[in-house]
Structure 1
Amino acid sequence: MANTTNNRPISPHLQIYKLIPTMVMSIVHRITGGALYVGSLLVAWWLIAAASGQAHYDWVNWIFGTIIGKLILLGYTWALLHHMVGGLRHFYWDMGFGYEKSVSTKMAKATLVISLCLTVLVWLIGVVVRF
């Protein structure tokens, strides 16, 4: 009996694939989706603290006001906006548009740029409204 497993194709892996923008944005979309779970817990923590009284609310606000807290909030803002823009990109594909390689590559790059710009805009509005 012949060994038929020797002629089977080998599944490609990341050392064979060349990273392209659409692949990277797909991976980042999944990562930001996971990060939103943790960020949602932070939002829930803040809401529970607000409902628990002034002392708890002030303590949570103090934590979010530290440098590390602000970096976490900045990352959550970017993850939320990046995931939203990536979702709009997927919605566009669901409608049957943007499958051409040049269009999908431009959309992948635009996803990153738009999400970063929106994050800066949201934080600038937050700073202006605060003062």
Structure 2
Amino acid sequence: MQCYNHDDQNAVGLCKACGKGLCHDCAADLGHGLACKGVHEDKVTSLNQITTKSAEIYNAAPKNALIAPLFVLAMGAIFIGSGFYYGIGRSTLSTTMGVLFAVYGLVMLVRNRALYGKDRS
């Protein structure tokens, strides 16, 4: 493959932003990708930052997989408790909402454990 700008030079790689072949003189090495020197350096730097941040978020997800289900389960327990304490029992809106929250929390918990696995957290 030849350089997009210099057809007499062999390309050393592709610009991460536009995909054009670049020779040594036209390429800016930004660590995790090449960019057209002076043209796409900012864009490739942004793409590299997005990739790095996405990897950090992906790695943190298993640690946070229990937060939402436990919160929803706690809300379910609070609604169920207030329904029995202040209401007639199973027929109250609060108790019904609590049961729905608890079921949803359990579903979230099971799905998160299946998605992230026990060994990753």
What's the TM-score once normalised by structure 2's chain length?
Answer: 0.36
Which one has a bigger Cα radius of gyration? 2
Higher strand residue share: 2
What's the TM-score once normalised by structure 1's chain length?
Answer: 0.34
Tell which has more relative contact order, 1 or 2 (C-alpha 8 A, sep 6+). 1
